[in-house]
Amino acid sequence: MAAKAVVLHAAMLAATFVGAPAVAQTNDPNLSQKQIDCLSRTTAAGADCEDGAKNGGGQSGAGNAVGGAVFLPSLIVDLFPNPPARPTPAPTQPAPPKSPTSSAAPAPPPSGPITPPTGLNLAAPPRAVSGEFVPDEVLVTVAGDAGAVQRIATTLGLQVRSQRQSRLLGTTLVRYGIPDGRPVGVVLAQLAADGRTQRREPNHIYSLQQAAGIVNYAFERIALDSKQASGENVRIAVIDTGIDDTNPALKGVIAGQFDAMPNVPIKKRDHGTSVDGLIAGVGALEGIAPGAKIYHARAFEGGKSSMDVILSALDWAAEQDVRIINMSFVGPKNDLLGTACRNARALGMVLVAAAGNNGPKAPYGYPAAFDGVIAVTATDAKDGLMPQANRGAYVFLSAPGVEMVAPSGTGSDVVTGTSFAAAIVSGAIANLIHAAPDRSADEIEKALAATAKDLGPKGRDNDFGYGLLDIKAAGAAKE
């Protein structure tokens, strides 16, 4: 999927989202840290900021243009990470026109028993051959005609099984058989002593790379056996973008849907589809908690939403009697959102949220920074921290979230971001609840903190929180 940015014009946003006034967290890379801090303040009109900071330093009034909006944590980073720099390939010459392959008639194999030659001088010790190969054949290029090909076979006790003039190799390619059981490495060394041969290789075996299924590296990193993973019948609410519920990875996964912004057309389905799939996907893109039931609330379009829309989605989720709420979005502190999260936790729900993708100096991201919400940051396949991740004392747990294969609105994609790390944690918690349905939200949170694999500085830190999720240890933790 080609990388591209998702942009929603301020005029559309103002016409679409109506809610309690709030200043949105911005993802504008041109703003200074002071300007970002001013945009995140909840004081009326940023009273103690300079005019230039209020207006994004002259960047088209960024702070005022997005009033009342809450951002997914840098959706551009989540779904369209900057691709690694790649060297520009050198221009290639046009391929020559195709022509029929010319073939010399293979010489008949020698009649009668073949006696292996003795006393041959090996030009090199027997070669160590790696990879799978046909055990009784070698491939050789020969300078000469069919007579030369046969003379080599007779000298070394080989069979000519096929020969042809290779256009791309520019010479005769011969497939010799080894009828007496000599190791391929020995025969290659014997051929190297014959000046009539040019190149000598094993007849290696290759296979098509069609995978029956893709096991996400997250399973290994969080100590969860993919064959035993299950969130069967655990009810999980996801508040996100619209989804592609026709994606095979979501077949039978979505138990209910709610559109918190029905008057806004759905244009993007990638983010929500990826989050749902990582949690409970089926088939080739199996999620962390197969069998879990997803209650999906669409509350974002163009990467943005408003507080009233999100609260509407949260209310709907609470009515579905879910055990887990996944919130892969970030915005400013809002007391209404804080109250809603606190009350959801009091009802026994486990709240999981993305820590944010706006960099080490970004302000705290909410709802992740509220008490009682498990704030998740993203690590890669080697447990390294995603460079764009937010930092702070509110970070609770680390989980895989860098370059993972996930379903999307266009089939599948490679995704990166704390959004997806949060989905991994939500799926892992579903496994805990499936194994022990009576386990409370408080008990789950304590077990996750006590058993996390410490990363970075010793103990809880602002980068990794308590460390990398270890679901096997958390499942075995005693209360």
pLDDT of residue 5: 37
CA angle 348/349/355 to nearest 5° reads 135
pLDDT of residue 346: 94
pLDDT of residue 72: 57
pLDDT of residue 114: 56
pLDDT at 34 over 50: yes
How far is 131 from 137, CA to CA, in rounded Å?
A: 14
pLDDT of residue 232: 96
Other Cβ atoms closer than 10 A to 123: 12
pLDDT of residue 166: 86
The residue-averaged pLDDT of 247-257 equals: 96
Q: Which of 1.10.3720.10, 3.40.50.200, 2.60.40.10, 1.20.1050.10 would CATH assign to domain 212-476?
A: 3.40.50.200
Chain centroid, CA 211 distance in Å: 16
pLDDT per position as a tens digit, 339-374 = 889 999 999 999 999 999 989 999 999 999 999 999
How far is 228 from 118, CA to CA, in rounded Å?
A: 58
How far is 450 from 137, CA to CA, in rounded Å?
A: 58
Question: Is the Cβ–Cβ distance between 26 and 39 less than 8 Å?
Answer: yes
pLDDT at 90 over 80: no
Chain centroid, CA 18 distance in Å: 34
pLDDT per position as a tens digit, 375-386 = 999 999 999 999
pLDDT of residue 298: 95
How far is 414 from 141, CA to CA, in rounded Å?
A: 42
pLDDT of residue 32: 55
Nearest to 241 by CA among 263, 264, 270: 270
Cα–Cα distances in Å, from 230 out to 97, 151, 217, 224, 225?
55, 65, 17, 10, 10
Sorted by sequence, the CB contacts under 8 Å of residue 403 that are 6+ apart come out as 81, 380, 381, 414, 415, 416
Lowest mean pLDDT, pick from 99-113, 158-172, 413-427: 99-113
pLDDT of residue 295: 98
Q: Kindly report the CATH number that applies to the domain delimited by 133-204.
A: 3.30.70
Q: Considering only residues 445 and 128, tell me which one the structure prediction assigns the higher pLDDT.
A: 445
Give the whole-number percent of the chain exceeding pLDDT 90: 55
Tally of residues, the chain: 479
pLDDT at 433 over 50: yes
The residue-averaged pLDDT of 98-103 equals: 40
Return the domain boundaries, the chain. 10-65, 133-204, 212-476
Q: Considering only residues 465 and 53, tell me which one the structure prediction assigns the higher pLDDT.
A: 465
How far is 138 from 51, CA to CA, in rounded Å?
A: 77
pLDDT of residue 50: 45
pLDDT of residue 53: 38
Tell me the two tokens of residue 5: 């940015």
Lowest mean pLDDT, pick from 183-192, 333-342, 364-373, 423-432: 333-342
Beta bridge partner(s), residue 405: 414
Residues 224-251: b if buried by 16+ CB within 10 A, e if exposed: beeeebbbeebbbbbbbbbbbbebebbe
CA angle 113/116/117 to nearest 5° reads 130
Q: Which of 10-24, 119-133, 164-178, 241-255 has the highest mean pLDDT?
A: 241-255
pLDDT of residue 126: 73
pLDDT per position as a tens digit, 259-275 = 999 999 999 899 999 99
pLDDT per position as a tens digit, 308-333 = 889 889 999 999 999 999 999 998 88
pLDDT at 80 over 90: no
- Give DSSP secondary structure letters for 185-239: HHHHHHHHT-TTEEEEEEEE-------S----HHHHHTT--TTT---TT-EEEEE
pLDDT at 79 over 50: no
Beta bridge partner(s), residue 295: 237, 256
